[in-house]
Amino acid sequence: MIILGVDPGLVVTGYGVIEAKNSYQVKLKEAGIIKTKAGDRISVRLEKIYRNILNIVRDYKPEVIVLEKLYSHYKHPATSILMGHARGVVCLAAGVSGIKLVNYPSTRIKKAVTGGGQASKMQIQGMVQKLLAIEDKRQPMDVTDALACALTYVNMELR
């Protein structure tokens, strides 16, 4: 099964494609980021994210796209709204492509990957790198967060 995990953001969207036969046989296929320019109009930025996600879907043909559920902190509502725009185009790409879309709360992702629901970003990154045998330790957090989403689906659904 091919799984696409996405960590949507308006400036940087991380993505990771994994192939899983079961929860013990998981292989990294592709991972990276989609960057947009802060000075561009939001419509241009969202189109870039959307088109790149469609290209990834076309190239790897995932059976499922996995996202983290949107969380809004009362002190930073604008951040959630902007992230929601990027998240929306990923959801649209899933719908247009006919791909199953799954959302997990951040605590579920942290627990599935590290064993603890309050894990730090560094702990998640370290565990993702270990689980997928990623030797380049300079992976952006956006990428390892996306891969954590994909790995959560494996741990939750392919056991």
Is 40 labeled as catalytic in the residue annotation?
no
Distance (Å, whole) CA 61 – CA 54:
10
Distance (Å, whole) CA 136 – CA 67:
24
Considering the candidates 19, 30, 59, 142, report the single residue annotated as catalytic. Answer: 142
Return the closest-CA partner of residue 101 out of 53, 35, 44. 53
Distance (Å, whole) CA 107 – CA 92:
25
Considering the candidates 7, 19, 40, 135, report the single residue annotated as catalytic. Answer: 7
Largest pairwise CA distance in the chain: 45
Is 63 labeled as catalytic in the residue annotation?
no
Considering the candidates 19, 30, 47, 68, report the single residue annotated as catalytic. Answer: 68
Is 7 labeled as catalytic in the residue annotation?
yes
Measured N-to-C along each axis, helices 106-114 and 121-131 cross at an angle, to the nearest 10 degrees, of: 50
Distance (Å, whole) CA 132 – CA 51:
27
Catalytic residues: 7, 68, 142
